[in-house]
């Protein structure tokens, strides 16, 4: 089978013929039809995340069809459509797993990072971590929900019952989560790169009550804010924009350093938290609510062989929608 393989950090992906994987016990062999590109893929290539598997097949927003099942499986059948997310395996046994926090598992493995992912014609995945996907979505349009949607949703839930919700960095995840926030009647304040009038306009059209640059203060204090941009200076900025008791959620896997700030900005029970990975329960909840909203994705497709182009355009901020690799049969 063909796969786009990362041989060494910072190198381009190489199109290679590699042996078709075999499903082990409890694993699914999946013929990939679509795999969305995530900012995390860039962090992995650029060496900003420690110890990726090398050589590596990237990709953790995978949609495909089950061709083979290793052993018995009651949850999936051959021919089923399946979604494969970032969380690929946990030990089920550490203190985090046993307390409903498998996203923090000490021994977790991640798709497209420490397990081969979906920039390929086939992949194998542990059936226990795969999702059935809502029928209303096509393969390409549902793919971005598997990470930007899911982990965005976990970030959103961490903001509690915030009525006035700020979102810093209005990219893919923000676009998806904003739709849920508006559906749940939150007031949305969108912060973009200073001067990015087009994105501010898009946020208003989506239903934001206010949109401006990340260097601006909102017209009123926010109850909570999510930062999706990987820009550490936004943490003290967002802290200054939230009211007493507010929460700043850092939704990305990697962020540049956070500058120091006066304690008074954190005082009065303001909270800073990050969001790591996802639990299967996040997925179950999210795939119930997404089709009800319905959350709509915007995608731009690339052939598997064009994965480097998709990553380069993403890195340069030149994508206008989520890049999705489509894999021809
Ligand atoms: Zn564990
Ligand atoms: Zn991701």
Report how far ligand 1's centroid is from the alpha carbon of 292 (Å).
32
Report how far ligand 2's centroid is from the alpha carbon of 63 (Å).
14
* Confidence (pLDDT) at 72: 81
Q: How do residues 103-136 score in pLDDT, each as one tens digit?
A: 999 999 999 999 999 999 999 999 999 999 999 9
Residues flanking ion ligand 2, Cβ below 5 Å: 38, 40, 147
Is residue 52 within 8 A of residue 40, CB to CB? The reply is no
State phi, psi for 229 to the nearest 5 degrees: -75, 145
Other Cβ atoms closer than 10 A to 49:
16
241's enclosing H/E stretch is: helix 234-241
User: Which residues on adjacent β-strands are paired with residue 16?
Assistant: 3
Is residue 97 within 8 A of residue 118, CB to CB? The reply is no
Report how far ligand 1's centroid is from the alpha carbon of 44 (Å).
22
CA dihedral 123, 124, 129, 135 (to 10 degrees): 50
Is residue 44 within 8 A of residue 101, CB to CB? The reply is no
Is residue 190 within 8 A of residue 211, CB to CB? The reply is yes
For residue 152, give the ligand nearest its CA: 2
Q: Strand 242-250 and strand 222-227: pairing?
A: parallel
Confirm whether pTM is higher than 0.75: yes
Report how far ligand 1's centroid is from the alpha carbon of 57 (Å).
24
For residue 98, give the ligand nearest its CA: 1
Report how far ligand 2's centroid is from the alpha carbon of 217 (Å).
29
Cis peptide before 208 (omega within 30 of 0): no
The rounded distance, in Å, linking the Cα atoms of 325 and 63 is 10
* Confidence (pLDDT) at 226: 98
Report how far ligand 1's centroid is from the alpha carbon of 237 (Å).
35
* Confidence (pLDDT) at 235: 98
* Confidence (pLDDT) at 307: 98
In the predicted model, residues of the chain with pLDDT beneath 70 are: none
* Confidence (pLDDT) at 329: 76
* Confidence (pLDDT) at 57: 98
The rounded distance, in Å, linking the Cα atoms of 208 and 35 is 29
């Amino acid at each position: 089978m063909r796969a786009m393989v990362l041989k060494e950090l910072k190198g381009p992906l190489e199109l290679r013929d590699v042996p078709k994987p075999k499903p082990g016990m409890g694993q699914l062999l999946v013929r990939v039809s679509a795999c969305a590109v995530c900012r995390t893929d860039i962090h992995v290539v650029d060496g900003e995340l420690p110890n990726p598997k090398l050589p590596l097949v990237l990709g953790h927003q995978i949609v495909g069809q089950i061709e083979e099942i290793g052993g018995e499986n009651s949850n999936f059948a051959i021919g089923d459509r399946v979604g494969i997310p970032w969380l690929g395996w946990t030990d089920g046994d550490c203190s985090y797993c046993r307390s409903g926090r498998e996203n923090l598992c000490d021994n977790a493995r991640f798709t497209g990072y420490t397990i081969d992912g979906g920039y390929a014609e086939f992949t194998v995945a542990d059936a226990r971590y795969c999702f059935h996907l809502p029928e209303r979505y096509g393969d390409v349009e549902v793919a971005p929900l598997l990470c930007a949607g899911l982990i965005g949703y976990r970030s959103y839930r961490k903001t509690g019952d915030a009525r006035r919700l700020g979102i810093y960095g209005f990219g893919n995840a923000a676009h998806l989560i904003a739709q849920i926030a508006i559906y749940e009647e939150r007031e949305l304040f969108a912060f973009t790169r200073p001067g990015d009038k087009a994105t501010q306009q898009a946020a208003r059209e989506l239903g934001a009550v206010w949109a401006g640059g990340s260097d601006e203060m909102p017209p009123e204090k926010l109850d909570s804010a999510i930062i999706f941009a990987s820009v550490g200076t936004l943490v003290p900025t967002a802290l200054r924009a939230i009211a007493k008791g507010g929460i700043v959620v850092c939704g990305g896997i990697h962020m540049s350093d956070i500058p120091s700030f006066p304690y008074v900005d954190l005082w009065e029970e303001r909270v800073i938290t990050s969001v790591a990975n996802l639990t299967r329960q996040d997925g179950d909840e999210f795939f119930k609510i997404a089709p009800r909203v319905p959350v709509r994705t915007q995608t731009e497709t690339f052939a598997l062989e064009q994965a480097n182009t998709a990553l380069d355009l993403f890195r340069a901020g030149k994508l206008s929608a989520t890049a999705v690799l489509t894999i021809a049969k």
